[in-house]
Structure 1
């Protein structure tokens, strides 16, 4: 049987796997679905069209699936979708999507999300990320795999963060943060590449050398973004193992919005 505390309020229409546990005074709404092995702590509110996958650990005092903080929202059945094996610490707020975008706020798998994190409507978070305490994402933000956000990082709406990028504490992002880049400041400026993180994830010396060359082209040679992209495109010939990394960087740079640009 489900380990549901006697004071929890679970709507009869909610779909919870038989292995789900729910703590005291938690409220679960009618359109919520929760997969096997997930635990939900005390004093949580999970509402809206929210789907939560398997083996998640949701600590106490979280609000998941509330309507977006968007004045244009008029009750449309938008969604929050959370994947598997995520840790969500205390006092986080994840809103559903909005009809002005995909209508879905999405969190992938194996993410480590610390206390007081806010995900606004239509955010898309990848896999294996770490969000330190009080990281705040405005609407429509895209976060790639393996991103690390330092505590009190604030991300402007529609900004993208590339895979393996990292922010220092109290960073303020108004522009897109390319893959692999470490940034700091208000507004954030590029400081280096996330070399230590790449080594820990098994990147070969050749791939790391290619990332160093990308950093040089983007930040050390006073090139335009177009010229830097052209130089980066040639790296896959010099470093064949890095071809997927080069392609990811080029794709990210090509999608940079002119009004925002990239962190430089």
Structure 2
């Protein structure tokens, strides 16, 4: 049953209400309208085919496209816009000037409880010259992400791929996530972190400000990128890198401790790291031999974190990967 509409004074004669199975859409051009606990400012432009959930708040000078879907409790601050085939989950917030979606083929799907900051641009056409405007392109964002001001996140460059953002990420101001990136969960990207196309980031990765990552690189879980790092090769799990070009600077010990790694796990990882990256002697053991030695070390290989580290390093040398960041060998094993 259609819920009752009321205004502070009178309902505009131009008000139209379209009932759907789950959503409601409203258009008003004079009075502020309260409907199903929703507020739509009269200066907002809401297409009659747009689908709006209950308790939606749309501020002044916003616009909603014909194929947009807004879940329950979404809030659009003044001057924010939802374009194209775009879906917002429940309780999403668009701050002033935020733009979500694009009129190009494809779609942008945003999960629940995401905050999109002032003048952020999410789900627009990629910056890849190989992209063809007639091709579908996609962006999928999970839940509980905080995407801060002036951030840009682009759709995929082709219909067979997707740009994907997981859950619980903090993406600070002026970051850029390019086409076809795959971002996991619970990552923190500090201001001005720039990810080129096809970058893959696992979980609990932390970048300091102004870090730059080359296309097709992989960042392993629990790794840390120092401020101003220029990363042109893979960063294995648990590692800390810094510099231009970025080099391995040891394990991310602070991050591992914060994430609850045990003393035994951290001690074993430190031993494995020393044997792989810091051991130099007169026998000139190759990098492959050092990996093999750790893989056969009875005291290390039974530790899951050590096995994950070794696998992350080996994966980086697969045919389609870029290898790992450079490292400096030090005397003493």
User: Paired residue for 1:85?
Assistant: 144
Matches of 1:44 and 1:94 in 2, distance apart?
A: 12
TM norm structure 2:
0.75
User: How large is the Cα RMSD of the aligned pairs?
Assistant: 1.7
1:247 aligns with 2:301: no
User: Paired residue for 2:13?
Assistant: none
* Large movers: runs of 4+ above 6 Å: none
Gaps of 5+ in 1: none
1:210 to 268, 292, 313: 268
Structure 1 residue 150: Cα displacement: 1.1
2:295 to 233, 236, 247: 233
Q: Secondary structure at the match of 1:229?
A: helix
Structure 1 residue 239: Cα displacement: 4.7
User: Paired residue for 1:143?
Assistant: 201
Structure 1 residue 178: Cα displacement: 0.8
Q: Deviations over 1:58-82 (max 9, x none)?
A: 1110001111111110121111111
Q: Secondary structure at the match of 2:294?
A: helix
1:4 to 55, 58, 63: 58
Correspondences of 1:1-264 after superposition (within 5 Å): 1=38, 2-48=56-102, 49-75=107-133, 76-99=135-158, 102-222=160-280, 224-234=286-296, 237-239=298-300, 242-243=303-304, 245-257=305-317, 260-263=322-325, 264=327
Q: Secondary structure at the match of 2:308?
A: helix
Structure 1 residue 241: Cα displacement: 6.6
Q: Deviations over 1:185-237 (max 9, x none)?
A: 100111121111111111111111121122112320145332232133235x4
Q: Secondary structure at the match of 1:106?
A: strand
Gaps of 5+ in 2: 1-37, 39-55, 328-333
- Which structure's relative contact order is higher, taking Cα pairs within 8 Å and 6+ residues apart? 1
CA 1:64–1:195: 2 relative to 1, 3 Å: same
Q: Is the 8 A contact 2:272 2:300 kept in 1?
A: no
Q: Secondary structure at the match of 1:238?
A: coil
Q: How many residues align?
A: 261
- Structure that is richer in helix per residue: 1
Q: Secondary structure at the match of 2:271?
A: helix
